[in-house]
């Protein structure tokens, strides 16, 4: 297969952590190349590097940045996929910019109204859940959410080999009539769709523990869910570590923390590698800005897997029904 | 002061738990009365009971239920406040129905476009945060959110004696241009309002740990945040208890859980008593459906406090500016 192009400039710890992750990917037999600024991406003569001179910063307005920084690593990476030089792209950079660059350069899959970002939510001791859209499209229409449901369902089948993923629509009550207008209108579309296993509305409390595989929401709601979840987990982990590290817990703290470590490690987003942009003509993975080398490695693994299983063709088939 | 009327039929454990909570409130010197079905509310001759024959169930569609069940405990409670027989109402019943009954019977404060539910989010070791709207109004307009910000600010001052509460608008990025259309339009209104201490957009990750006191959102987003937060806390607490109760943790588990208990107890929503409906002509507190006796007691305490501090007049002044 063609190499996976990785954005060397993306993420809080770029390029060093990205290079480290790419090196691990190469060592495990995944063909990978980098795109980035040669004056900053150094000490990696063992990795193919394609030069780009600009960097889109994390806080930049995505579409403006993509329009003006034509020689940025994110835009160049998307172009390498578009032009058939690379089979997939991975970036830990500005999420919106990756989505915009992939959309503008690779274009949409025929029939797709809008792309969506599918984020894997790891759940300790259970299969993960897929949340989409987690931030690509903030103001949505019912038929877009309908496509998100189909694409999320197919992605979950291909990526996690779950046969008929249970698709839930995020709302504020289980009943069909609960929710805002967008959700009520979307509910009817999903209920009538025989190609997905729609189980009805789900609530915020189902995000981790619910009997559901795919959570469908507009990008605003999805992003708020994701950040609330991350923030709550981080806050609680901090409180727990602090309580068990305090002097009065010295006798049991270290061992207790050892028993809790597996939970924290299963919740670590690095393990899933990144979020998948669904609906564009190519495989694009967006890793967390704070991604470590393991996250980059895992993102490359997932990218390879999705190329080999031809995710794009599967998605194309799902929206064409 | 006039008694606080408590809905004896509201909540998962009604009426027994409600009666127990009311008895504790009476014992602590708070004037309280009950409204409910005399055939079910028994063994409480020591408490004034006003008869109602109907019950609005938790899953009923709120406005329809309020329209058709005119002799329900929730509607009767709201009427007792409207008619001046009671100074405030407390219910652990159907949230939407309490909001609808209070709105229809007590009417809005002059100048208020829509009421909002303000929920107190307890944060271990820190002052709580106020989230509004947490579910009263799911499809909102910018000027409604603007009023929510003002009402939330005043409520936080009156209830928690925080002088210039930091008001944040829930979005998906800190920058003013991030968010959906509703948020972008609301941002401009809040930024121009000199009567509140608007600190800009906040994200889901700030819900527990951010430097913000009042979180403003439409009722759909607010409810999703609340449920995601509750679900995540519950899930993690369950995982932690299970890991520390396992056989291999027997040597340290019980003591470690003892060190963690204060965190769990500070996160317990029962401690805050309930959510406050802001914008109606009266004090109305909505307790969690799973409220225990302590939650009912605390709700009565808060109700008394808000009546004595004349919250309604304060809110009226804030929206009239």
pLDDT per position as a tens digit, A148-182: 999 999 999 999 999 999 999 999 988 888 899 99
d(CA B84, CA B98): 18
Write down the mean pLDDT value for chain A. 95
Does A118-269 match A1-112+279-321 at the fold level? yes
Asked whether residue A321 carries a pLDDT value surpassing 80, the answer given is no
**Residues on chain B touching A59 (C-beta within 8 angstroms):** 175
Asked whether residue B125 carries a pLDDT value surpassing 90, the answer given is no
Render pLDDT for A210-240 as a digit per residue (tens, 0 to 9): 899 999 999 999 999 999 999 999 999 999 9
The pLDDT of residue B270: 79
Q: Which residues contact A291 (CB under 8 A, 6 or more apart)?
A: A11, A13, A17, A21, A92, A270, A274, A299
The pLDDT of residue B181: 96
| Class of CATH domain B121-268 | alpha beta
d(CA B112, CA B34): 29
Residue pair B126/B91 in contact by the 8 Å Cβ criterion: no
CA-based nearest distance B145→chain A, Å: 15
The pLDDT of residue A3: 98
Please report which helix (H) or strand (E) contains residue A169, including its range. strand A166-170
The number of C-alpha atoms within 13 Å of A160 and in the hemisphere containing its C-beta is 24
The pLDDT of residue A240: 93
CA-based nearest distance A28→chain B, Å: 33
d(CA A277, CA A274): 10
Render pLDDT for A276-307 as a digit per residue (tens, 0 to 9): 999 999 999 999 888 899 999 999 999 999 99
Q: Give B43's pLDDT tier (boundaries 50, 70, 90).
A: confident
The pLDDT of residue B59: 85
Render pLDDT for B59-82 as a digit per residue (tens, 0 to 9): 888 999 999 999 999 999 999 999
Asked whether residue B44 carries a pLDDT value surpassing 80, the answer given is yes
The pLDDT of residue B273: 82
d(CA B87, CA B281): 11
Chain A residue with the nearest C-alpha to that of B177: A61
User: Which is higher by pLDDT, B271 or A238?
Assistant: A238
Query: Could you give the percent of chain B with pLDDT greater than 70?
Result: 100
CA-based nearest distance A12→chain B, Å: 17
The pLDDT of residue A50: 97
| Tokens found for residue A291 | 């991604």
The pLDDT of residue B151: 98
d(CA B27, CA B41): 19
The pLDDT of residue A228: 96
The pLDDT of residue A48: 97
pTM of the model: 0.95
The pLDDT of residue A140: 97
| Tokens found for residue B315 | 């809110």
Average pLDDT over residues B48-61: 94
Query: Could you give the percent of chain B with pLDDT greater than 90?
Result: 87
Render pLDDT for A263-278 as a digit per residue (tens, 0 to 9): 988 888 777 889 999 9
The pLDDT of residue A82: 98
Asked whether residue A44 carries a pLDDT value surpassing 90, the answer given is no
Report how far apart, in Å, the C-alpha atoms of B247 and of each of A259, B238, B241, B321 are. Answer: 11, 16, 12, 62
CB proximity A226 to B under 8 Å: yes
Contact B229/A224, CB-based, under 8 Å?
no
**Residues on chain A touching B208 (C-beta within 8 angstroms):** 231-232, 235
Q: Provide the edge-to-edge strand list for the sheet that holds B166-170.
A: B49-51, B32-36, B4-7, B88-91, B283-286, B275-278, B116-123, B126-132, B214-216, B166-170, B197-202
The pLDDT of residue A272: 82
| Class of CATH domain A118-269 | alpha beta
Average pLDDT over residues B24-42: 97
The pLDDT of residue A273: 82
The pLDDT of residue B30: 98
Q: Where are the domains of chain B?
A: 1-112+279-321, 121-268
Average pLDDT over residues A196-214: 95
d(CA B284, CA B106): 10
For β-strands A32-36 and A49-51, DSSP reports them as parallel
Contact A203/B224, CB-based, under 8 Å?
yes
CATH architecture of B1-112+279-321: 3-Layer(aba) Sandwich (3.40)
Average pLDDT over residues A250-271: 89
CB proximity A175 to B under 8 Å: yes
Average pLDDT over residues A242-252: 91
Residue pair B33/B48 in contact by the 8 Å Cβ criterion: yes
Asked if omega into B314 is within 30° of 0 (cis), the reply is: no
Is the ipTM reported for this complex over the cut 0.90?
yes
CA-based nearest distance B43→chain A, Å: 35
Q: Give B134's pLDDT tier (boundaries 50, 70, 90).
A: very high
Q: Give A18's pLDDT tier (boundaries 50, 70, 90).
A: very high
A59, A139, A235: residue with CB nearest B180? A139
CA-based nearest distance A255→chain B, Å: 7
Q: What part of B 102-131 touches A (C-beta under 8 Å)? A: 124-125
Query: Could you give the percent of chain A with pLDDT greater than 90?
Result: 87
Contact B230/A204, CB-based, under 8 Å?
yes
Average pLDDT over residues B238-265: 91
| Tokens found for residue A314 | 């599967």
Contact B240/A235, CB-based, under 8 Å?
no
Average pLDDT over residues B154-172: 96
Asked whether residue B52 carries a pLDDT value surpassing 80, the answer given is yes
Contact B204/A246, CB-based, under 8 Å?
no
Which among A136, A172, A221 is the top mutation candidate for probing chain B, defined by the most B β-carbons within 10 Å of its own β-carbon? A172
């Amino acid at each position: 297969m063609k190499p996976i192009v990785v954005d060397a400039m993306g993420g809080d710890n770029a390029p060093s952590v990205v290079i480290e992750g790419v090196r691990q990917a190469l060592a495990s037999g995944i063909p990978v190349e980098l795109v980035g600024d040669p004056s900053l991406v150094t000490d990696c003569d063992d990795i193919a590097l394609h030069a780009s001179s600009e960097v889109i910063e994390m806080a930049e307005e995505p579409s403006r940045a993509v329009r003006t920084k034509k020689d940025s690593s994110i835009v160049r990476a998307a172009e390498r996929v578009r032009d058939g030089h690379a089979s997939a792209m991975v970036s830990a950079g500005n999420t919106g910019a990756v989505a915009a660059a992939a959309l503008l350069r690779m274009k949409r899959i025929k029939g797709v109204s809008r792309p969506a970002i599918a984020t894997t939510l790891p759940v300790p001791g259970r299969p993960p859940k897929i949340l989409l859209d987690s931030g690509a499209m903030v103001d949505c229409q019912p038929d877009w959410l309908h496509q998100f449901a189909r694409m999320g369902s197919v992605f979950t089948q291909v990526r996690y080999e779950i046969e008929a993923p249970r698709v839930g629509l995020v709302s504020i009550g289980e009943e069909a009539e609960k929710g805002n207008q967008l959700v009520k209108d979307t509910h009817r579309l999903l209920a009538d769709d025989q190609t997905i296993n729609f189980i009805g509305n789900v609530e915020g409390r189902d995000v981790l523990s619910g009997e559901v595989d795919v959570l469908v929401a507009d990008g605003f709601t999805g992003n708020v869910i994701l950040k609330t979840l991350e923030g709550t987990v981080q806050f609680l982990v901090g409180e727990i570590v602090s309580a068990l590290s305090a002097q009065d817990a010295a006798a049991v703290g270290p061992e207790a923390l050892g028993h809790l470590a597996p939970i924290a490690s299963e919740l670590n987003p690095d393990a899933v590698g990144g979020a998948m942009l669904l609906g564009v003509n190519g495989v694009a993975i967006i890793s967390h800005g704070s991604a470590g080398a393991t996250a980059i490695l895992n993102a490359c693994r997932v990218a390879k897997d999705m190329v080999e299983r031809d995710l794009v063709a599967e998605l194309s088939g799902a929206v064409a029904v």
